[in-house]
A = this chain, B = another copy of it.
Amino acid sequence: MKKIFLSENDMPKSWYNIAADLKTAALPPLNPGTLQPLGPDDLAPLFPMALIEQEVSMEREIPIPDPVQEGLKMWRPSPLIRATGLEAALKTPAKIYFKYEGVSPAGSHKPNTAIPQAYYNKLEGVKRLSTETGAGQWGSSLALAGQMFGLEVKVYMVKVSFTQKPYRRSMMQSWGAEIVPSPSSDTSFGRAILEKDPDNTGSLGIAISEAVEDAAQRDDTKYALGSVLNHVLLHQTVIGLEAKKQMEIAGDTPDIVIGCVGGGSNFAGLAFPYLRDKINGADIDFRAIEPTACPTLTRGKFAYDFGDMAQMTPLVSMYTLGHSFMPPGIHAGGLRYHGMAPMLSHVVREGLVDAYSYHQVEVFDAAALFARTEGIIPAPESAHAIKGAIDAAVEAREAGQEKTILFNLSGHGHFDMSAYDAYFAGKLSDYRPSDEDLAEGIAVTEGLPPV
- Of the candidate stretches A2-10, A154-162, A301-309, the one touching chain B is A2-10
Q: How far is the CA of A148 from the CA of B372 in the complex (A)?
A: 8
Residue of B nearest to A376 (CB): B105
A196 nearest CB across to chain B (Å): 31
Within 8 A of B (CB), among A1-45: 1-3, 5, 7-8
A146-173 CB mask vs B (1 if < 8 Å, else 0) is: 0110000000000000000011011101
- Does chain B have a CB within 8 A of A144? yes
A129-151 CB mask vs B (1 if < 8 Å, else 0) is: 00000000000000010011000
- Does chain B have a CB within 8 A of A441? no
User: Contacting A73 at CB < 8 Å: which of B1, B75, B169?
Assistant: B1
Q: Which residues of B contact A371 (CB under 8 A)?
A: 174-175
| Pair A372/B418 contact, Cβ less than 8 Å | no
- Does chain B have a CB within 8 A of A421? yes
| Given known A3-B8, A3-B73, contact A147–B417 (CB-CB < 8 A) | no
- Does chain B have a CB within 8 A of A420? yes
Question: What bracket does the count of chain A residues touching chain B fall in?
Answer: 35 or more
| Pair B103/A103 contact, Cβ less than 8 Å | yes
A150 nearest CB across to chain B (Å): 11
- Does chain B have a CB within 8 A of A300? no
Q: Which residues of B contact A415 (CB under 8 A)?
A: 414
- Does chain B have a CB within 8 A of A375? yes
| Pair B170/A421 contact, Cβ less than 8 Å | yes
Q: How far is the CA of A28 from the CA of B279 in the complex (A)?
A: 71
| Given known A7-B5, A105-B375, A147-B372, contact A171–B73 (CB-CB < 8 A) | no
Residue of B nearest to A147 (CB): B372
Q: How far is the CA of A147 from the CA of B166 in the complex (A)?
A: 31
| Pair A175/B2 contact, Cβ less than 8 Å | no
| Pair B7/A74 contact, Cβ less than 8 Å | no
| Pair A417/B171 contact, Cβ less than 8 Å | yes
- Does chain B have a CB within 8 A of A176? yes
User: Contacting A107 at CB < 8 Å: which of B167, B169, B414, B418?
Assistant: B414
A408-436 CB mask vs B (1 if < 8 Å, else 0) is: 00000011011011001000000000000
Q: How far is the CA of A418 from the CA of B418 in the complex (A)?
A: 14
Besides A169-B421, A171-B420, A174-B372, 6 other A-B contacts (C-beta < 8 A): A74-B374, A144-B375, A170-B421, A171-B377, A174-B377, A414-B414
28 A-B residue contacts at CB 8 Å?
A1-B73, A1-B74, A3-B8, A5-B5, A5-B7, A75-B375, A105-B375, A105-B376, A105-B377, A147-B372, A166-B417, A166-B418, A167-B418, A170-B417, A170-B418, A170-B420, A170-B421, A170-B424, A171-B377, A171-B417, A173-B420, A173-B424, A174-B377, A175-B371, A175-B372, A176-B372, A414-B414, A414-B415
What are the nearest 7 A-B pairs in CB distance?
A167-B417, A105-B375, A414-B414, A174-B371, A170-B420, A170-B417, A170-B421
